[in-house]
Amino acid sequence: MSLSPEAIATLSGVSTATITTVLLKKGLRNVWMRGTKPLRPGQPRLVGPAFTLRFVPAREDLATPESWSSPISTRTAIEAMPKGCIAVVDAMGVSDAGIFGDILCARMVKRGVAALITDGVVRDVEGVLGTDLPVWCDGFAAPPSVAGLTFVGWGEPIGCGGVAVFPNDIVVADQDGAVLIPQALLDHVLAEGPEQERMEAWIVNEVNNGAALPGLYPMNAETKARYAATKK
């Protein structure tokens, strides 16, 4: 799945906090991926389809340096990543084995990958930052992935930070972390997200002008009428 430039532009103007609110109104409560923090403060909001990768617990006969040359390896998976995707990696929240380092991240940049998101950690953090690949993760650690994880595949449903992620679901990441938009709800978020942002900006302006919160947030009928009048 490829996102249109128009969809990317729209979602780039909608915060992850707003997206969680819009999806909550549709009954989805679990779309924020726990442990996905921006590695570099100030990273811009990014949007893209999910390219999924999955690790399982380390098993000594499989999690070896030799496995890096296997056809089922992170190296091979990176070569399958399409331009503009966001790599979403299920690392099971393991925090003492870095899933990717500077060399793998540099290759992702060359392939045009938009970002790396994981509930695990990276290694070679200085080098990773030097690649300028935007990364959302739970920190960093020196040991390699095989010290605690076994890579088992890509392009399948995963769990990242406690959220079910299917290939080509839409991911938006900003300073609050990464959230998932199911493909079936993309049009709804595209329609409702910008309006939620406009409404909340108007509310903030009212607060800055001295308005009290009761009846304003959430809006009562009178406030809704005043807000509607501003859109005419």
Asked whether residue 174 falls in the same domain as residue 200, the answer is no
Q: Is 124 annotated as a binding residue?
A: yes
Beta-carbon neighbour count of residue 209 at 10 Å?
A: 7
Asked whether residue 217 falls in the same domain as residue 105, the answer is no
Q: Is 101 annotated as a binding residue?
A: yes
Asked whether residue 119 falls in the same domain as residue 215, the answer is no
Q: Is 103 annotated as a binding residue?
A: yes
Q: Is 48 annotated as a binding residue?
A: no
62 band by pLDDT with thresholds 50, 70 and 90? confident
Q: Return d(Cα 139, Cα 38) in angstroms, integer.
A: 9
Question: pLDDT tens-digit profile of 16-25?
Answer: 999 999 999 9
Is there a contact between 170 and 56 (Cβ–Cβ < 8 Å)? no
Percent of the chain at pLDDT exceeding 70: 100
Asked whether residue 106 falls in the same domain as residue 177, the answer is yes
Asked whether residue 206 falls in the same domain as residue 106, the answer is no
- Domains: count for the chain: 2
Which amino acid is located at 75 in the chain?
R
Shortest CA distance to 181 belongs to which of 32, 54, 12, 2?
Answer: 32
Asked whether residue 200 falls in the same domain as residue 167, the answer is no
Asked whether residue 173 falls in the same domain as residue 193, the answer is no
Beta-carbon neighbour count of residue 106 at 10 Å?
A: 16
Asked whether residue 45 falls in the same domain as residue 92, the answer is yes
Amino acid 65: pLDDT: 86
Asked whether residue 173 falls in the same domain as residue 86, the answer is yes
> Which structure tokens are listed for 140?
């960093």
Asked whether residue 51 falls in the same domain as residue 137, the answer is yes
67-81, 84-98, 167-181, 199-213: least confident range: 67-81
> Which structure tokens are listed for 54?
């999955």
Asked whether residue 45 falls in the same domain as residue 113, the answer is yes
Asked whether residue 124 falls in the same domain as residue 50, the answer is yes
Residues 21-41, mean pLDDT to the nearest whole number:
97
Q: Which single residue is written with the structure tokens 């080098």?
A: 127
Boundary-marking domain end, from 165, 183, 201: 183
67 band by pLDDT with thresholds 50, 70 and 90? confident
Amino acid 232: pLDDT: 77
Whole-structure pTM value:
0.94
Question: pLDDT tens-digit profile of 93-105?
Answer: 999 999 999 999 9
Q: Is 119 annotated as a binding residue?
A: no
Question: pLDDT tens-digit profile of 144-182?
Answer: 999 999 999 999 999 999 999 999 999 999 999 999 999
pLDDT higher than threshold 60 for residue 1: no
231 band by pLDDT with thresholds 50, 70 and 90? confident
Helix axes 186-208, 221-230, angle to 10 degrees: 100
Its domain, for residue 132, covers 5-183
Q: Which CATH number is 47's domain given?
A: 3.50.30.40
Amino acid 89: pLDDT: 98
Percent of the chain at pLDDT exceeding 90: 92
Boundary-marking domain end, from 144, 166, 183: 183
pLDDT higher than threshold 80 for residue 63: no
